[in-house]
Amino acid sequence: MTGISAMSRFFSSKFKGLEPYTPGEQPKDTSYVKLNTNESPFPPLKAVTDAAASCRPLNLYSDPTCSDLIAKLAEVYKISPDRIIPSNGSDETLYFAFLAFCDSGHPAVFPDITYGFYPVFAQITNTPYTEIPLKEDMTIDINDYIGINKNIFIANPNAPTGICLTTGEIEQIVKSNPSNVVVIDEAYVDFGGESALPLVEKYDNLLVVRTFSKSRSLAGARLGFSFGSPGLINDLNTIRFSTNPYNINSMTLAAGIASLENEDYTIENCNTIIKNREYTTDKLRSLGFEILPSCANFIFAKHAGLDGGWLYAELKRRGVLVRHFTKERICQYNRITIGSMDQMNVLISELEDILKER
């Protein structure tokens, strides 16, 4: 974390042991080939940035009901508006879900290797949590979650592995835990995963969380959206209106609507990323990398002859930023965002050089 120094004497003791989430590096130096935070390499359409620039005057507050954006989401995803809640990035809904549904009597459960924010949200909301180990091959064993009777948080595709579960598997988990909320975090679903959205009308305990950050090229705009039963959405709105009713700014609302009016662009970009992912996976495998099967816009890769932390640093020295995690089970891997073909070719040629020099 940047700039965190010793806590002041005023910091509430309830946060004493809190370990904040560490976001990926966002260097000001734009010369890096930036493959570390799963952003889109493609800029938003001009129609999207134009819409943001000419939105509701900024001397007025943004629309707290977000009704235009919700109407557009309802149309695109074919679901009724009372089952939708937008958010300031999907991180916010994940936090709100912990606030709304978890406490000492309602513990949470998630895999040991998954999105690093879940344990942080559990800690800040004082929620007891269990981390269930992924299987040896880094897949989720759904049997671990059947009838577990805890609130469940699953990223599907999982991060940083990229591995996905089928909708049928998600349904078994949701169905077997009717007294608990199951949150399916679909940040990366547009790159080849199966969405649990069709289950939302069938199960009142399912929340499906999505984002504009990855497939829609709007990470910097901070916009997420979630689908659930009207009851769950209502609960999340209670939290929203009790914290920050203007949580989505006017520029972002306008950008989101414009993005949804241009679905072809999103679909085309996702297809390009999938193609670049398959190309990169093949090339890296031929260089001796072991790569988990990814349905996301990143791959998780390790090489028997290269230490994961060393490789991260060496790539950075050569101007390519990837993401390395120090957690023991995955410290030999690096997570590599799939970018443009040019970016992928730079990565591949640097890896070829590194391997030649070793």
Question: Where along the sequence are the contacts to ligand PMP (CB under 6 A)?
Answer: 89-91, 115, 155, 159, 185, 187, 211, 213, 219, 224
CA distances 137 to 62, 148, 209, 273, Å, are 46, 22, 26, 24
Q: Which is nearer to ligand PMP, 236 or 351 (CB)?
A: 236
Q: How far is the CB of 96 from ligand PMP (least distance, A)?
A: 12
Beta pairing partners, 129? 108
Other beta carbons less than 10 A from residue 125's beta carbon: 19
CB atoms within 10 A of CB 196: 26
Residue 91 Cβ, how far from ligand PMP at the closest point, in Å? 4
Closer residue to ligand PMP in complex, CB, 249/303:
249
Separation between Cα atoms, residue 219 and residue 211, nearest integer Å: 8
CA–CA separation, 309 and 289 (whole Å): 15
- Is residue 293 helix, strand or coil? coil
Q: How far apart are CA 270 and CA 158, in angstroms?
A: 17
Residue 90 beta carbon to ligand PMP: minimum distance, rounded to whole angstroms: 3
Measured from the CB of residue 354, what is the shortest distance to ligand PMP in angstroms? 27
Give the strand pairing for 224-227 and 206-211.
antiparallel
Our CB check for ligand PMP shows the closer of 211 and 334 to be 211
CA distance 313 to 310: 5
Nearer to ligand PMP, 330 or 354 (CB): 330
Nearest distance from residue 246's CB to ligand PMP, in Å?
18
| Closer CB to ligand PMP, 100 or 187, in the complex | 187
